Amino acid sequence: MAYSNTLWLLLPYFFLAGVVTGAKVPAVIVFGDSSVDAGNNNQISTVLKSNFQPYGRDFYGGQPTGRFSNGRIATDYISEAFGLRPTIPAYLDPMYNISDFAVGVSFASAGTGFDNATSDVLSVIPFWKELEYFKDYQTKLKVYMGIEKATNIISEALYIISLGTNDFLENYYTLPDRRSQYNIEQYQVFLSGIAEKFVKSIYDLGARKIAMTGLPPMGCLPLERTTNFFGGNGDGCKDEYNKVAFDFNLKVSAMVKKMNKEVKGIKMVFSNPYYIFLQIVRKPSFFGFETAAVACCATGMFEMGYMCDKYNPFTCSDASKYVFWDSFHPTEKTSHIIADYVAKRFLYVFR
């Protein structure tokens, strides 16, 4: 396929020793969806939560935190790679305060998207609200650190933006409204426009080092493979969805290049997990996994959230053998591999 890549292109990055060290990044600040939500959804009224077992069973102390994983997520590993704390807390988590958030914070909400209509589906935090939390965070940081130190943290921090999958799978391909307004390419342009406006907003608030994360090959999620199978199309990845992700990534990448040319003082990268994720799915044994077709939790075919609870007898005993934890999210091991690749391939420029 035109949007595939060869494994050997990834090997130099996969086998590089060590991690990104000596980074001039005092904090990692995160916006996005369940790929980077550290538990904000715990504090809102929504069915989309994961603050119960078996989620978090491989996290520190075996505690479910609201991360959609058996353990840590990619941004936790990225924070650690930059010599910061090994976990990034959720902004709404009452267990943490501004002293914790000064070195890393996540405003992300599982189920959200660039499109406000996406967040409405499961009553989660809309993307624009994450920006409001960031403004509130800045006010608190200036009180805690003093204006000069806080301003330095805000300008030198690494900003990670990771979302978009829900806009397509939860919204566009599930509900009729956006499909009646846009064809798929028009919707991609609509979303990338929102992404650009968001970047300009955080830039105006002081952000300078920004990583815009691309979409994974979302047609290879166990949920989509299951849907493909029951639709009579075999148990492989849904190629149409992978192409949508690939094409959207091209648009976002072009936006990043445009911003670097036009916006003074910005340093922005397109952090693309597509190829490494696709190679893990296609050759799981090469990366130490036994399967990518189904997830660890429950039957591994369609469950996530409350359908993936501690009473389900089908949940696997060893998540490290699986690429996916639930039907929509990777295991801690997969997140670690992807974060390591992303840090070395894209985020090294912020050292």
Could you give the residue numbers annotated as active site?
34, 326, 329
Amino acid at 76: D
Q: Check the CA dihedral 281-283-287-292 and report its sign.
A: positive
Q: Contact 259/268 with Cβ under 8 angstroms?
A: yes
Q: Please give the Cα distance from 318 to 351 (Å, whole number).
A: 35
Going by the DSSP 8-state scheme, the letter that residue 135 receives in this structure is H
What SS3 state is found at 102? coil
User: Which amino acid, one-letter code, is at 90?
Assistant: A
What is the DSSP secondary-structure string of 231-299? TTS-SS--HHHHHHHHHHHHHHHHHHHHHHHHSTT-EEEEE--HHHHHHHHH-GGGGT-SBSSS-SSTT
The burial of 221, by beta-carbon neighbours within 10 Å (0-12 exposed, 13-18 middle, 19 or more buried), is given as: buried
Which residues is 160 bridged to in the sheet? 30, 211
The candidate with the shortest Cα–Cα distance to 256, out of 161, 142, 132, 128, is 161
